[in-house]
Amino acid sequence: MVRHSIVASLAIAAALSGCRKPPPPLPDKPADPALADDWSGVMPVQPAQHLIFHVRKATDGGAETTLDVPERNLSGFPVTGPIRVAGKVDFDIPSVRFRYEAALDPDGKTLRGTVTQGALPPVPVNLTRSKPTDGSAGGP
């Protein structure tokens, strides 16, 4: 019985994920190297998931970003962004319909925003800036 309800829930979620219009693509502009550092926060879902964005300055003058989600054994997943658009900072993973949209606090240490993915409702997530833990050169 439990197995059938889990399968039914997954089928419903899969069907609904096609109902929500995907977010528009990010503008074709380079990722912002001024945000180069680690950005981490907790997505308040059950179970809670830690999001850790690793933003590094790229040789082309932009930035390269990866995402770790330890609870999902995800490490080094490529991310588009951070892109600054109209006062917002966006990280995007089009292949899984994931977007983090936030505003950068004036002190430059916190991003306050929401995660959207597929048909799921937006989830508030704040990310805190920290120096890279892998020895990479960070931002300001």
Condensed to tens digits (0 to 9), the pLDDT of residues 94-131 reads: 999 999 999 999 999 999 999 999 888 999 999 999 98
- Asked whether the CA dihedral 68, 73, 76, 79 is positive or negative, the reply is negative
Q: Residue 8 has what pLDDT?
A: 33
| pLDDT score, position 131 | 85
Residue 137 domain flag: no
pLDDT tens readout for residues 46-58: 899 999 999 999 9
What are the helix (H) ranges across 18-128? none
pLDDT at 84: 87
What is the CB neighbour count within 10 angstroms for residue 89? 21
C-alpha to C-alpha distance for 30 and 126, rounded to whole angstroms: 23
In a domain, 1, yes or no: no
Residue 6 lies in a domain: no
Backbone φ, ψ for residue 16 (5° rounding) = -70, -30
Q: How many domains does the chain have?
A: 1
Coil, helix or strand at residue 8: helix
Confidence of residue 140 (pLDDT cuts 50, 70, 90): very low
Does residue 93 form part of some domain? yes
The 10s digit of each residue's pLDDT in 16-48 is 344 445 455 554 556 788 899 999 999 999 899
Q: How far is CA 49 from the centre of its chain?
A: 12
9 in a domain, yes or no?
no
CATH number of the domain encompassing residue 62? 2.40.128
Asked whether residue 35 is domain-assigned, the answer is: yes
Residue 37 lies in a domain: yes
More confident residue, 122 or 2: 122
- Give phi and psi for 66, each to the nearest 5: -130, 160
**Would you state the pLDDT for residue 86?**
78
Q: Which is more confidently placed, 132 or 23?
A: 132
Q: Please report the pLDDT score of residue 24 as a whole number.
A: 53
In a domain? residue 15: no
What residues make up the domain containing 34?
27-130
The pLDDT of residue 114 is: 97
| pLDDT over threshold 80, residue 134 | no
Cα first-last separation, the chain: 55
